[in-house]
Amino acid sequence: MLNLDSFPAPACGQIRRAAVVFVLTLASALSFIACSTSLAQAQGAAAEEVATAESGETVYSLLVKGGFLMWPIGLCSIVVLMFAIERAVALRRLRTVPPELLDSLFEALPAREGSEERHDEAISLLEGSRSILGDVLRTGVARLAAGAHATKIILEEAALKEAHRLHRKLRPFSVVETLAPLLGLLGTVYGMITCFENAVSVDTASRAQTLASGIYAALVTTAAGLTVAIPAKVLFHWFESRVDRVIDALEERLQAFLDFYFDEAELATATADDDVTAPARLAMAPASGDGARKAKRRERDELALGGIERTSEA
């Protein structure tokens, strides 16, 4: 049996997250297969029942009328649900910025010139937290001896890396909110083509009824695509706001970390050094293409992090 305690804390956390995603994916796939099988078995009987019923349409009959493109739209809804659960678990406060972690670190390492045992204890504490804040602070603790400027730079880089990773995890919502309406529109176009093709082969008296029923059925996929895309967009913006709150909380904790281990003069010098090196780093950013988009994302995150809240000179 696999013993997670034998792995380092970051690897253990990645294994746990991968296991959660795998279980959710497997459960969603099994549910989708089960629904597909039951729907295929009942499709013939349901079609006859819908054709002869006088009480109007049901949700199931609309799904049947939508055609084969209802399946990828349904799969999109499962993807949204799966990633919504995964993100809700991953963005919990204890998994991102634990409120008591910084105080525990200050108790374990009361000064940056502490002994090697103190540093090892502090790093073990941060690794054991299995949180974003712990991962970022661990890089800062390892560079405390290098001075305020080096520590500040490494903390900024680690924080930006985590911010980029959090934003990348929201891409499935953005993909679904774009893809689902397009699939619905494609299904409607196919339905309209079939509708007009069938209308040509019937007599004039029943042509209007054939067109009306065909257009009615063709619009089902568009409605289904929008039904999936709208919640996906809402979830995307909701989780994006949670990511922004995590970045704001991370900024506050990192500034408190710097204020605890360095005095105002050291931080002022580090800020001045950073003002000198920042234009050179920005000049190296690509001017167009994917690199430009990444540079814009990086610049936005840097603004959100506030350069870890510059400290004014005394």
The pLDDT score that the predictor gives to residue 263 is 80
Q: Does residue 232 have a pLDDT over 90?
A: yes
pTM over the 0.85 mark: no
DSSP reduced 3-state for 3: coil
Give the confidence band of 210 by pLDDT, cuts at 50, 70, 90.
confident
Residue 312: which residues within 8 A CB-CB, separation 6 or more?
268
Query: Do residues 292 and 286 touch, judged by C-beta distance below 8 A?
Result: yes
User: What mean pLDDT comes out for the span 295-302?
Assistant: 55
Q: Which residue has the tokens 């994916």?
A: 25
Distance CA 264, CA 210 (A): 79
The pLDDT score that the predictor gives to residue 227 is 92
Query: Among candidates 128, 148, 124, 126, which has minimal Cα distance to 137?
Result: 126
Rounded to an integer, what is the distance from CA 78 to the centroid of its chain? 15
Query: Among candidates 303, 127, 49, which has minimal Cα distance to 119?
Result: 127
Distance CA 77, CA 245 (A): 26
pLDDT digits (tens, 9 = 90+) for 236-273: 999 999 999 999 999 999 998 888 888 877 777 766 65
The pLDDT score that the predictor gives to residue 24 is 52
User: What mean pLDDT comes out for the span 210-216?
Assistant: 81
The pLDDT score that the predictor gives to residue 2 is 47
